[in-house]
Structure formats: C-alpha cells, structure tokens
A = this chain, B = another copy of it.
Amino acid sequence: MSTIDAKKDNTRPTGTLGALVEAQIEQDIVEGRFLPGDRLDEENLATRLSTSRTPIREALRKLAANGLVTIRPRSGATVSRPSLALVIDLFEVVSELEAFAARLAAQRATDTQLAAIQIAHEDCERLSQSSDAGAYFNANLVFHGAIWSASNNVMLAEQIGTVNKRLAPYRRQITFHPTRKQDSQSEHSQIANALANRKPDVAEKAMRDHVMILSDDALQLARTLRL
C-alpha cells in the first residue's frame, strides 16, 4: 500500500515526529503486525519508537479519526475491531466507490493512465502464477490503485484508500488464498478490458462484482477463522 498511497495528507509526511509515528503505527496495522483488538499502550509505543507520549497520542487520535484505531476514554487505544455487520457495511461502501472509480476511469483516464493500468494487470497475471503471495498482494494493490488514480478524482481516491485501510486485515486474508487468485485474475481481465475500450457501464459493473465477490469470500473466511 505504501507505494501507491502517497496520498496528499493534510499533515506533511515528513518533518514532524508525530507524522512519522503515525505512519509507522498505520503501517503496522495495515500490514498486519498489529491485529484487530490489540492494545496500543502509549508508554509502550513511546519507548519502542523512542519518543515521548505526546507524539504517540496525537498519532493515535488521528488514526482513530480514520477509524483504524478505537479509543475508549480513560481506558486506552486498541486496533479497531469492527463487528461483522460493520465489515459488511464497509465492503458495501468500498465496492460502490471502486465501481464509481472504474466508471470515471473509463471516461476520463489519459492514455498514459490506461497504459499503467494495463501494465499493472500484466504484473498481476505474472505474479498470480508465482508462489510469492506477498508480491501478488502488492501487485493487486497497484492494479486497484492505478484505477483509483485514473478516475482523476483526488477525493475519491483518498476515500477509497481510507476505507481500504480499515478493511486491510480482511482483504489480506482472502487475497492470499490460492483458489481465489484464479477467479480474481479473470475478473481483473474483464475490468482491464472494459477500461481499455472505455466502456464505463461495463467497467463499473465488473468492478462492483469483483469487489463484492471478494467481500463474500472474505466474510466467509472470517467466519470460519473466527476472525
């Protein structure tokens, strides 16, 4: 995610310590080193990142505003653990947003952007054969991110990024399953095709279906894994 997600945040990425701390904790959550429900002890984090509690607190508050962290007053912060109902809602929202991004991309993407999508798609194809699950996961993100970006709507891309971070733990699980990779790639092909031919309706529907299938599988997996 880090590569494509150079989102123009409202606080410059570099410069202040708090921003670095925030980025660090966010990465730890999104990349699965902190799991949903994990306690985020301020002093603990402060010593681990060798700062005081102040930047930690500010980072945690910002992450809470984005939904990645849940703060119970006077009782501490934990990695958010949304109920199944909320996860379903989040997937529903993101499928609609990504579908809209696909539609816009079909209408507005520059040829360069379309080419980037195509390349990302081919990378996915290639890596779907390989055994490097992590690499495939990243390539997958690049493909989706190329489409968000090609929508040429900055706020839309930002929103999708935010929601997806909250879903990262669940998306991760499913993308790593080998059986899903096959189907996923064929769905990607349909999307890439529709975009290349600039068919907004087709692209939108293909993307919505793709994310909804992903959602169903992720939720089923989450249930069996008692996640």
Residues of A whose CB lies within 8 Å of any CB of B are 10-12, 15-16, 18-19, 57-58, 61-67, 69-74, 80, 85-86, 89-90, 92-93, 96-97, 100, 153-156, 159, 163
Contact = CB atoms under 8 A, between A and B. Distances in A.
B156 A93 contact: yes
A99 to B, nearest CB: 9
A73 B153 contact: no
A159 B93 contact: yes
A10 B71 contact: yes
5 contacts: A15-B74, A61-B62, A65-B66, A89-B156, A159-B159
A57 B71 CA distance: 17
Give 10 nearest A-B pairs by CB, closest first: A65-B65, A89-B155, A15-B73, A62-B65, A10-B64, A89-B153, A16-B73, A96-B100, A11-B71, A90-B155
Number of copies: 2
A224 to B, nearest CB: 23
A43 to B, nearest CB: 17
Contacts of A61: 11, 18, 58, 61-62, 65
Contacts of A73: 11-12, 15-16, 19
Contacts of A64: 10-11, 62
Nearest to A12: B73
A12 B74 CA distance: 10
Given A64-B62, A70-B10, A92 B159 contact: no
